[in-house]
Amino acid sequence: MLFQLAIGDAYGAGFEYASKDFVAQHNNLERYISHPKHRQLPGTYTDDTQMALAIAELLIEKSPWTKEVIAQKFVDVFKRDPRKGYSQRFYWFLREVKDGSEFLARIDPRSTKSGAAMRAPPLGLLKSEAEVLAKAEFQARLTHDTPEGVASAQAAALTAHYFAYGLGPAEKLGRYLSNQVPYRYAWHKPWRGKVGPSGLEAVHAAVYVLSRESTLAGVLRETVNLTGDVDTVASIALAAASTTRDFLRDIPEALATALEHSTFGANHLQKVDRALSQLLPLRAQSSGEITRPFYREVIADKLRVVENIEHGQRIISECPFCDAEDFSIGAGFYKCFSCGKVGNAITFLVEVMKMPQDQAMDFYKKYM
């Protein structure tokens, strides 16, 4: 997650608010680009990754979720590795404050910009939607204590959660967020135009691209094509897409290998990613896929099989939703070609067997 987030951040940083002509000329995913105005070494990540790394480390350390602890972590990750990319005002603020207490005493939290959203994706790996929403809101209020700032953080975290836990197909992500995020916002509507600095815009644009693309390279290319605050959009989108096998993992090798190798660069991010995957109850990479044991022990006796294809590699059965003999199970997922229902092991437990989501996730763990 963090490794891909950083690639999106570092690649997008070369195009942040650049002209359409510049983006059209250079957005080919062949290499990291020097920004036409900013002085940032190509392949280095910015505040998006550094703040997400702070949240990830708090989760791994199982730190108390208090204002003081979170603020101290924000200060610590900046002080150990000061870097550009923050707004000028926040950059100098972090340089000046000595610790988390001073951070809280001096911060003006009335922002609607994207800072709380850009650091929220690791929270999506938490088990329950309620905890994702609560922790995303809590950390947002330290710096973005506005309805828009909180909502954008919650939506960014839930976007990662949606894919990590296989809650549905990409095209239904927007509807999911419109139903789950308390703040009323039409996440499911198409995004139009340049992405501005607000958190709502950044997440909305990320959701739009995720609902239309099926590869990590496509997600990265199309987020940058939007123009505007594209490093944040790319960070949020790639972080979420990297948690599922629904997106082809085709990030160009040139970008993966050229990401910075500083003390807190690529190797450190991958180390943190490994810790996250071990810490959390359902590994992001499993994506709730229908394994053979799960099919044999859970699904087989619930369906009337019509046809086995390629020695059971794909099963055609009667659909439990519409009764049409057009329900296909293969490659870890199911799809009905009549009613359009798509899902995985977890959605089968929830929608067909009527199991509460938390119980379904616990039940599925033995089939991972």
* Domains of the chain, each with CATH number or no CATH: 2-285 (1.10.4080.10), 292-367 (3.90.580.10)
Query: Cα 152 from chain centroid?
Result: 12
Please indicate whether residue 34 or residue 332 has the higher confidence score (pLDDT).
34
**Where residue 368 falls among pLDDT bands split at 50, 70, 90?**
low
Terminal Cα-to-Cα distance of the chain (whole angstroms): 19
Cα gap 136→89, rounded to integer Å = 23
Which band of pLDDT confidence, cut at 50, 70 and 90, is reported for residue 283?
very low
Q: Which residue has the higher pLDDT, 282 or 77?
A: 77
Residue 284 contacts residue 247 (beta carbons within 8 Å): no
How far apart (Å, rounded) are the C-alpha atoms in residues 325 and 339? Answer: 11
pLDDT of res. 285: 42
Whether 282 shows a pLDDT value over 60: the answer reads no
Backbone angles phi, psi at 280, to 5 degrees: -90, 150
> How many angstroms separate the CA atoms of 193 and 228, rounded?
9
Position 296 scores a pLDDT of 83
Q: How confident is the model at residue 166 (pLDDT cuts 50, 70, 90)?
A: confident
d(CA 77, CA 53): 8
Handedness of CA 52, 54, 56, 62 (dihedral sign): negative
Specify the pLDDT at position 65: 97
Q: 47: annotated binding-site residue? A: yes
- The model's pTM is 0.78
pLDDT interval class at 202 (50, 70, 90)? very high
